[in-house]
Amino acid sequence: MIEMQVGGLGFDPRNLSPIVLLRDQEEMNFLPIWIGVFEAAAIAMELQNAKPPRPMTHDLLRTFIEKLGGKPEKVIINDVKEGTFYALIEVTRDGKTLSVDSRPSDAIALAVRSHIPIYVSEMVMMQAKLVNAEKDAEETKKFKDFIQNMKPEDFTKYFKQD
């Protein structure tokens, strides 16, 4: 497994779908995952340390896990089938590890809130349309520039908080 971190958020310029960009620590491999607007907003808010007046769904999930005696340990993007990514959230409780099926966007939103590592299986890295910085230097620069110009406000205009 390869440890990744959130490298940024952006929109696919073709259809304006939100993308979370995972990158390895050496910034050699980048993995874009298309996600929903609400999950993108949740990730963006946490990355910008913006605290909503009431808990969002991923805050609620973390609180439930902790109140039930568990501790989120890591997130694993473990599969990709027909362009759809799959993930697991690993939680420890009473010395046992529980793996919970999750959408990658929800798992990543929980990971950034819980400050836990995000891993991608090597199989997913090989199958997915990832960007390799050495092989695709020009494409990587364009993508990085695009991602770095996104602001959390770009996501918040698509939803209303209650």
**What is the token pair recorded at 65?**
């896990």
pLDDT digits (tens, 9 = 90+) for 4-15: 999 888 887 788
Most confident of 32-41, 55-64, 97-106, 130-139: 97-106
- pTM score: 0.78
Instruction: Give the model's pLDDT for residue 156.
Output: 47
What are the chain's domains?
2-156 (3.10.690.10)
Q: How many Å apart are CA 39 and CA 57, to the nearest integer? A: 9
Is the distance from CB of 137 to CB of 30 less than 8 angstroms?
Answer: no
Burial 45-69 (b: 16+ CB within 10 A, else e): bbeeeeeeeeebebbebbeebeeee
Q: How many Å apart are CA 104 and CA 35, to the nearest integer? A: 8
Q: How many Å apart are CA 86 and CA 32, to the nearest integer? A: 13
DSSP 20: E
pLDDT digits (tens, 9 = 90+) for 120-147: 998 898 887 555 545 555 555 565 565 5
Instruction: Give the model's pLDDT for residue 55.
Output: 82
Measured between alpha carbons, how far is residue 14 from residues 11, 17, 102 in Å?
9, 8, 27
Mean local confidence (pLDDT), 73-96? 94
